[in-house]
Structure formats: C-alpha cells, structure tokens
Amino acid sequence: VPFGLSTSPAVLSHYGVAANTVTVFRRVDNDRRDLDMSNKDVDAEKITRFIRMNELRLVTEYNPRTAVGVMQSSFQLHLLLITDKMSPKHPERMHRYRLAAELFKGKILFIMVDSNLKSNEQTVSFFKLKKSQLPALAIFHVPDEEQDVLTLDEVSVEGVQDFCNRFLQ
C-alpha cells in the first residue's frame, strides 16, 4: 500500500488530518477512513486490519477482510466478476476486467469474487449461480437490490462495458 508520513502542520491541515491518525484515502470512491492512534491498544495488527478493511482498488477482491470496506463504500452500483481464481485464464480475465473498470471509475465499484473460497459461496448463491455457470458478471444496485447476471465464456472490455451500460439505462 503506498503511504506517506507527515508531521507538518501545513500538510495535515491540507488533508484535514489530525495528528496521531492513520488515514486511508480511497481513490476509487474519493472517500477516506481515519484511525485514531491515540488509543493505547492500537498495534501493528490492528493498523494492518484497518488498512486491509478499508482499501478499495480499481478492482477489489471480495473476501472477509475487504467485505466491510465494500459494504461501506459510497458506490451504489457494484459489478462482481465471479470467477475461479485458480483458472489458467484468470490473469487475462483480470487484465480485461481492470481495463473495463477504468471506464467506469467513480461510477461502479468493480469487485472480483473468487468462486473457490468457501466464504464466497453465499455470494455466488445470492445471484442464483452454480459453479457450472461461471465465470459470470453480476451487477447489483445497493439501494433497491436490483440486479442482473450475465454468464460468460470470456471476459472482454466491450462485453463488460455493454453489460454495465444496459443496466445503467
């Protein structure tokens, strides 16, 4: 995780950060999270957990550690690529998915769900998918729980873009 340290009052003031604070600036949703370090029971493990829970990337891998950050995101639209992370096709799928994510930065939260993780079985079943139907895209509108699913043979930038645009319309 890229980071910076500062004790400069001008820098702290510019970012609106108090002294003794760890701040995570989430570029993907222009949001931030603060951890007050004044508390004596904050240790390296708690700082690491705080950062992992709150970091959101262009494509965020969904797992028990990132679930809180995903759920607290200001994004109302979540696009999930539900796929087998162990597949030999996974690196190329992710490359194309990231390229598509660039097109919707600030509009849709792009999430990758590894279908092999036991903790993700509930997510897969929420969209009424079976492992035989994967990979798949699932788009979810948080406020009204409207959703759509598209099973795929292959992930393409154009396919992701079309799916998102259809849902947005």
> What is the topology classification, in CATH, of domain 70-168?
Glutaredoxin (3.40.30)
Domain extents in the chain: 9-55, 70-168
pLDDT of amino acid 51: 84
148 strand-pairing partners: 139
Q: Strand 146-151 to strand 21-26: parallel, antiparallel, or no bridges (unpaired)?
A: unpaired
> Considering the chain, what percentage of its residues have pLDDT values greater than 90?
59
Q: Could you tell me if 106 and 75 are in contact, meaning their C-beta atoms sit under 8 angstroms apart? A: no
Q: At residue 31, does pLDDT exceed 90?
A: no
Distance CA 77, CA 136 (A): 16
Please tell me the predicted confidence (pLDDT) of residue 74.
79
Condensed to tens digits (0 to 9), the pLDDT of residues 39-71 reads 788 888 888 888 877 777 789 999 888 888 888
160 secondary structure, DSSP code: H
pLDDT of residue 53: 74
pLDDT for 157 beyond 80 = yes
Which CA distances in Å does 123 have to 18, 27, 53, 85, 120?
38, 25, 18, 15, 5
